[in-house]
Amino acid sequence: MATPQSESSYELFYWPTIQGRGEFVRLALEDAAIAYSDVARLPKERGGGVEAIFRVLDGNGGGGRHFAPPVLRHRGGTEPRDFVVSHTACILDFLAVRSTRHGLLPEADPGARHTALQLQLTIADLAGEAHETHHPIAASLYYEDQKDEAHKRSATFLRERMPKFLGYFEAVLRENKASNKEYLVGAGFTYVDLSAFQAVTGLAQAFPNAFDRVRKDTPLLCALAERVAARPKVAAYLGSPRRLAPSTNDLFRHYPELDP
């Protein structure tokens, strides 16, 4: 893969067949119209496949070791010239700050960066807990081997945690609305709104019954998710083959027995 790097380029390393945590990064790249290569989805002979992920995790991508995907490599940038970064929220902060012209963070507000990061980390916690609903014992075991525990964990997630998380984002939006702000970060649209769309969409797909019960209490959050889905570049992406279909291999999974 010794291609000449004449201009800045972004490469995403993430599991090629699921949305997963990589989807939060894909949505930011797509909405910001940043050209990128979804490396593991390329054929092996072009340096793709899951082997590409393991190479970059092991530090053979030139940017140190990384614990887990998603990983983003930026080539031909400045300060430092090439950079490899992992962990969803860290990647999003990196992208937003390195490419302020792409509009993933408002430039005017110096506090917006940390407000966005803390909201993103709360979304990461919600996504993590959604994953635990089907894997409460071990990520290395099949769902079928931890079904009883998944049943218990899902019940408390849907009864206590999902309403608490979604209610929190709703309250943030409600208070922002009182000052005529329409996004999760008061200062304006950020990558957090894209991630909130993904979380809402994932939960509604995984737990349609439970989600219907919280929908009436989260009108602003649901409206935000719809506004995000209608953003031209997001809409184009969602209608493209680049957007992978949900499945029971993904982070958000629909098992009817977990959503009575």
In the complex, least distance from residue 99 CB atom to its own copies, rounded to whole angstroms: 14
Among residues 60 and 248, whose Cβ is nearest to its own copies? 60
Distance of CA 208 to the CA centre of its chain: 20
In the complex, least distance from residue 177 CB atom to its own copies, rounded to whole angstroms: 13
**Which of 2-10, 167-175, 194-202, 218-226 is the region at the interface with its own copies (rule: CB under 8 A)?**
167-175
Site string for its own copies, 95-134 (x = CB under 8 A): ---------------xx--xx-xx--xx--x--x---x--
Among residues 168 and 237, whose Cβ is nearest to its own copies? 168
User: Which one of residues 51, 175, 217, 226 is an interface residue with its own copies (CB under 8 A)?
Assistant: 175
Binding-site ranges for its own copies (CB under 8 A):
59, 64-68, 79-80, 83, 85-87, 89-90, 93-94, 110-111, 114-115, 117-118, 121-122, 125, 128, 132, 136-138, 140-141, 146, 149, 152-153, 156, 160, 165, 168, 171-172, 175, 186
